[in-house]
Structure 1
Amino acid sequence: MKTKEVKSVFILLLTAAIWGFAFVAQRVGMQHVGAFTFNGVRFALGSMSLLPVIYFFNKKNNEKKDEIIENEESEQKANLKTTIKSGVIAGSILFIAASLQQIGLIYTTAGKAGFITSLYIVLVPILGIFLKQKTHITTWIGALTAVVGLYFLSINESLTIEFGDFLEIIGAFFWAIHIQLIDKFVKNVDAIKLSSIQFATCSIFSLITAFIIEDVNIAGISNAIIPILYGGIMSAGVAYTLQAIGQKHAKPSHAAIALSMEAVFAAIGGILLLSETLPLRGYLGCALMMVGMLITQTENFGKSKVAKAD
């Protein structure tokens, strides 16, 4: 493996760790504020944290331009319109996915939420069938393995599923839809600008909902400021930038495996910081889900490009 590839894998592992431990921050934050308040402030910070990155890349790109294109202004306006439209659509789906995840965390553990959310890795190629995208046999093998794992993780002996786990499962479908949308949009617009706008959209929807159904107050936000800062700046701004950097030189298979470790870090964070535990069948379920997620990515071996997810 080349030096650049090794560095990229470690960068992506760091990204996965930041995202994984964000589940812990999300649970802790809701001890002081409601789910929509937490997401509203968190994604507002996430959107703003990307503005310096956008400024830096714009400045860098402007310095590289030697000639001024005559119709550059009109092209920029058209591109901005497309970026805003794409960001609002992606942000609307992000709002649904993030809300389901955040509310689900009230009723389930950070570790379980991390693994169930990571089902999007399996669901993305399955949803791709409806978009006429090619699906390999390993996708179905991996999906079946992950479903068996989900059974051991979430279905109890009375054959019922916990409410929080149920919300996380529905959320995983919306995360998969969100990734498919991002994959489509980034082909036409700047990924970081798109991300900033979608975060802003999600924040606006979350805050509107919060003011309607929750008790939004400065004291609660102040008490939850550290988890909110982590979820907004680290999980959104820093981790997204690291993902963009890491995927430049990492092979698709390596990138997918590294990012899928998000679920493992969520479980580790839950155990170390929240003293969460699972029964033996729960750990078996986590293991099977991880195996299933990795199986679905085996078709990426040998490919040279990675589609940016989020």
Structure 2
Amino acid sequence: MNSRHARARLGLLAVTVLWGATFSLNQVALRSIGAVTLTFLRFTLAALFLVAVFGRRREFWRDLRRGEILGGVATGALLFGAYLTQTEGQRYVSASLAGFLTGLSVVLVPLLVLALHRRPSRLQFGAAMLALIGLYLLAGPGGSGHLLGIILVLACAFFFAVELVVAECLSAQVAVAGLTLVQMSTVALLAGIAALAPGGGGLLPLHASDEAWLTVIINGVGASALGFLAQTWSLRWLDSIEISILYSLEPVFAALVALVALHQRLSILGWVGGLVVVAAMLLVSIGSPRDNTSHSGPQESSP
């Protein structure tokens, strides 16, 4: 494994830790701010952050081409669909069932890749199934929910899986920062429209707590802007199947952070599930990384 593969894995692990931590942050923030409003503020800040970092150079806007714009709009719409269906679905299903159903994207990604006529390895399929078992144990087999909620959260898993596969197809041909900016802006725009709809909660919370605003900043800069920059860049060196398995560690980190910060205990079965997910990650990591020589085109040095 070369240094770029190692950095990509370490970077995504860091992102996954941060995403896991945001579960506890969001739980506190949602006491004083609506879910759609939080999504709007989070991705608006992410877009503004990327403009502040990259948009000062004229070359950035000049190099923003059709691939970045169309790809960013497509993946941004998929991300918005994922967050919206996840939020709405959690109204009808238990948290444990929602976590498990969202984790089904670990299996959906290899199936989508197979549909695109690229055969995943047996090791990748085995690691995906092992991660699925671990997620089931971690979530708890006793989860329950209404059929509508199950359908919505399954849709969320599908949206996340499709977004990851589409981002993989785009990663070699586009500038990472340009694609991510359009992606974040698209989610912010769609979330803003949803927030202005009846019952959406509005664009600005009137009584948000200091913890809620801190969550917006951490979500916007870290979990969104830097997180999806890292994902798009890493897709040049890791395939979507391996990344989806790395992402299955998110509920493991979420449980650990909740244990420390919110004193929410995890059952013995949950700990076993977490260890199984870690084993799946280690299993897929020992496989040979894919050949990414085709990714060394003109966009290779683009931010």
**TM-score normalised per structure 2:** 0.75
Equivalent residue number for residue 219 of structure 1: 206
Select 1:195's aligned residue among 168, 180, 184: 180
Q: 1:288 to 1:100 in 2, by over 3 A?
A: farther
Q: 1:95 to 1:132 in 2, by over 3 A?
A: same
Equivalent residue number for residue 83 of structure 2: 98
Residue 180 of structure 1, CA deviation: 0.9
Unaligned ranges ≥5, structure 2: none
| Maintained 8 Å contact 1:138/1:298 | no
Residue 153 of structure 1, CA deviation: 3.8
| Maintained 8 Å contact 2:32/2:207 | yes
CA distance in 1 between counterparts of 2:246 and 2:136 reads 24
* Structure 1 position 285 matched with structure 2 position 268: no
CA distance in 2 between counterparts of 1:276 and 1:204 reads 35
Residue 88 of structure 1, CA deviation: 1.4
Equivalent residue number for residue 66 of structure 1: none
Residue 281 of structure 1, CA deviation: 2.5
Equivalent residue number for residue 176 of structure 1: 161
Please give the secondary structure, in 1, of the residue aligned with 2:74. Answer: helix
CA distance in 2 between counterparts of 1:84 and 1:260 reads 29
CA distance in 1 between counterparts of 2:89 and 2:120 reads 30
Equivalent residue number for residue 275 of structure 1: 263
Spell out the pairing of 1:136-147 with structure 2 (5 A cutoff): 136-147=121-132
Select 1:231's aligned residue among 203, 216, 219: 219
CA distance in 1 between counterparts of 2:3 and 2:251 reads 26
CA distance in 1 between counterparts of 2:188 and 2:173 reads 24
Spell out the pairing of 1:50-61 with structure 2 (5 A cutoff): 50-55=50-55
Equivalent residue number for residue 28 of structure 2: 28
Q: 1:24 to 1:15 in 2, by over 3 A?
A: same
Identity %: 24
| Maintained 8 Å contact 1:104/1:113 | yes
| Maintained 8 Å contact 1:122/1:139 | no
Spell out the pairing of 1:130-169 with structure 2 (5 A cutoff): 130-154=115-139, 156-157=141-142, 161-162=144-145, 166=150, 168-169=153-154
CA distance in 2 between counterparts of 1:8 and 1:140 reads 21
Choose 264-273 or 215-224, whichever is displaced more: 215-224
| Maintained 8 Å contact 1:150/1:289 | yes
1:209-253 per-residue CA deviation (whole Å, 9 max, x = no partner) reads 1221233253244652111111111111233445567788x7779
Which structure carries more helix by proportion? 1
Unaligned ranges ≥5, structure 1: 63-72
| Maintained 8 Å contact 1:112/1:153 | no
1:69-106 per-residue CA deviation (whole Å, 9 max, x = no partner) reads xxxx8xx5xx6233222221111111011223344567
* Structure 1 position 86 matched with structure 2 position 71: yes
CA distance in 1 between counterparts of 2:187 and 2:280 reads 30
Please give the secondary structure, in 2, of the residue aligned with 1:50. Answer: helix
* Structure 1 position 18 matched with structure 2 position 18: yes
Q: 1:10 to 1:179 in 2, by over 3 A?
A: closer
Question: RMSD of the TM alignment (CA)?
Answer: 3.9
* Number of equivalent positions: 287
CA distance in 2 between counterparts of 1:3 and 1:186 reads 19
Code of the aligned partner of 2:187:
C
Please give the secondary structure, in 1, of the residue aligned with 2:55. Answer: helix
Code of the aligned partner of 2:123:
T
**TM-score normalised per structure 1:** 0.74
1:38-92 per-residue CA deviation (whole Å, 9 max, x = no partner) reads 1111111111111233336765x89xxxxxxxxxx8xx5xx62332222211111
Q: Work out which structure has the larger RCO, using CA pairs closer than 8 Å and 6 or more positions apart in sequence.
A: 1
